[in-house]
Amino acid sequence: MNIQTTALDVAKIREDFPILAREVHPGVPLVYLDSTATSQRPRQVVEAMERLIYHSNANIHRGIHVLAEEATAAYEEARGKIAKFINAPSARQVIYTRNTTESINLVAQSWGRANLKAGDVVILTEMEHHSNLVPWQILAMEKNLRLEFIPVTEDGLLDLDAYRELLTLEPKLVAFTQMSNVLGTINPAKEIIVLAHAAGAVTLVDGAQSVPHLPVDVQALNADFLAFSAHKMLGPTGIGALYGRKELLEAMPPFMGGGDMIKRVELRSFQPNSIPHKFEAGTPAITEAIGFGAAVDYLNQIGMVAVESYEQEIVAYALERLAEIPGVRVFGPEAEQKGAVVSFLLDDLHAHDISQVLDMHGIAVRAGHHCAQPLHDKFGITSTARASFYIYSAFEEVDKLVAGIYKVKEMFA
């Protein structure tokens, strides 16, 4: 395979990530293949956060002094960048949250509690992260909802014929991941949403894995809600975003009570603020929001089409190389239907043993059920080892992964 087809200058990109140059053991350089869990941050993101801390650190919205006005402007400017990144019609439709998990819980506890009643059907999928399962399970127990699941086929795709059958149950909500964090499967989000809307359902897209790696346009998708996190797209931890359709957000009750989410408070009543502030109670993650905006700037400079194209190349190369190793079982679809995620097992070894030996050689992969236990149950396994790639991942690191797996085989021979 020609590994020089991409227009991405990966060597230059890697210069922006100092952590990639460190040794994790004496004489053993880091090979970071765990970006699906958390991506690394470029120096540009860190420097943007430092500028706010060193020059404009203050609380936002309520202050009228210079620092407060500068911090507020930077905070809201970042929101505008994030909105434009996903092509939201308005920045007011982007709500800052702590992460994808909180975004989904916000929808469940605000929209779900207000709009779902006993017997209503919620459709999810068998490949969901726990963050898009447990909030609906909690609400289902509280309100006696009916949860149904789109099956996953043996090759790691959603069974859309089964989905069409489930839609005859007239669901009120269809919530699904656009890209699986285990299988890498890129689901046909637009088709799923069109079918859901035709059945009268509201849609929620878990974009934790898709937004960092693919061009995502909420208007083209016609998504009602989209949830994603900064730390998976070169940004800081502790901040994420929820996009919502304007009329839905305006009709939803507040998620939490406190400062900044109100217009007026009396001893026995309150009047909520307008969106997005209605859902942003208390002092937010101001510095992290600026980092989030800087991460969007960085990805925009590269271009999301280029990001997607490069990752398709590197995952295809990874699948090709892993197929050479006797005893390796890879989960999920072929390269053209998946993102830069490869979950695998080796012989009859536990994923933790694989990961531990790889770490001895500086190779950081994930091991476990990846917060998707039902999906692993579906395939009759308890865990997998997962290698995941991003714009700073080099083809040579795939070769190091393969060499590391052979070391695992030798050790347990």
Q: 363-364 and 31-32: which strand pairing?
A: parallel
| Shared domain check, 67 and 211 | yes
Phi first, then psi, for residue 364 (nearest 5°) are -95, 110
Enzyme catalytic residues: 371
Q: What is the DSSP string of 133-150?
A: THHHHHHHHHHT-EEEEE
Question: Which tens digits make up the pLDDT trace of 340-394?
Answer: 999 999 999 999 999 999 999 999 999 999 999 999 999 999 999 999 999 999 9
Is 290 part of any domain?
yes
Is 3 part of any domain?
no
Mean pLDDT by 10 residues, the chain (413 residues): 62 98 96 98 98 96 92 97 98 98 98 98 98 98 98 97 98 98 98 98 98 98 98 98 98 91 87 91 96 98 97 98 97 96 96 97 97 96 98 98 97 88
CATH number, residue 339: 3.90.1150.10
| Shared domain check, 204 and 135 | yes
Quick check: 293 and 51 in contact, CB under 8 A?
Answer: no
| Shared domain check, 137 and 100 | yes
CA distance 339 to 343: 11
| Shared domain check, 268 and 371 | no
Q: What is the pLDDT of residue 265?
A: 83
Is 37 part of any domain?
yes
Q: What is the pLDDT of residue 1?
A: 36
Q: What is the pLDDT of residue 6?
A: 58
CA distance 405 to 354: 8
For the chain, the straight-line distance linking the first and the last C-alpha, in angstroms and rounded, comes to 30
| Shared domain check, 366 and 252 | no
| Shared domain check, 146 and 55 | yes
| Shared domain check, 293 and 150 | yes
| Shared domain check, 62 and 31 | no
Is 116 part of any domain?
yes
Number of domains in the chain: 2
Distances (CA, A) of 239 to 83, 226, 394: 15, 15, 28
Q: Which helix (H) or strand (E) holds 151?
A: none
Is 283 part of any domain?
yes
Is 320 part of any domain?
yes
Residue where one domain finishes, among candidates 239, 269, 301? 301
CA distance 46 to 43: 5
Sign (positive/negative) of CA torsion 260, 261, 264, 265? Answer: negative
Instruction: Quote the pTM value.
Output: 0.96
CA distance 363 to 381: 23
Residue where one domain finishes, among candidates 301, 324, 340? 301
Domain that holds residue 200: 46-301
The half-sphere exposure of 93 on its side-chain side, counting CA atoms within 13 A, is 20
CA distance 177 to 302: 25
Residue at 251: amino acid letter = A
Distances (CA, A) of 242 to 171, 205, 338, 346, 376: 22, 10, 24, 38, 28
| Shared domain check, 383 and 260 | no
| Shared domain check, 352 and 214 | no
Is 81 part of any domain?
yes
Residue where one domain finishes, among candidates 273, 301, 329? 301
CATH number, residue 111: 3.40.640.10
Is 5 part of any domain?
no
| Shared domain check, 332 and 240 | no
Identify which of 257, 247, 262, 282 has the alpha carbon closest to the alpha carbon of residue 92. Answer: 247
Q: What is the pLDDT of residue 58?
A: 95
| Shared domain check, 61 and 165 | yes
Q: What is the pLDDT of residue 259?
A: 84
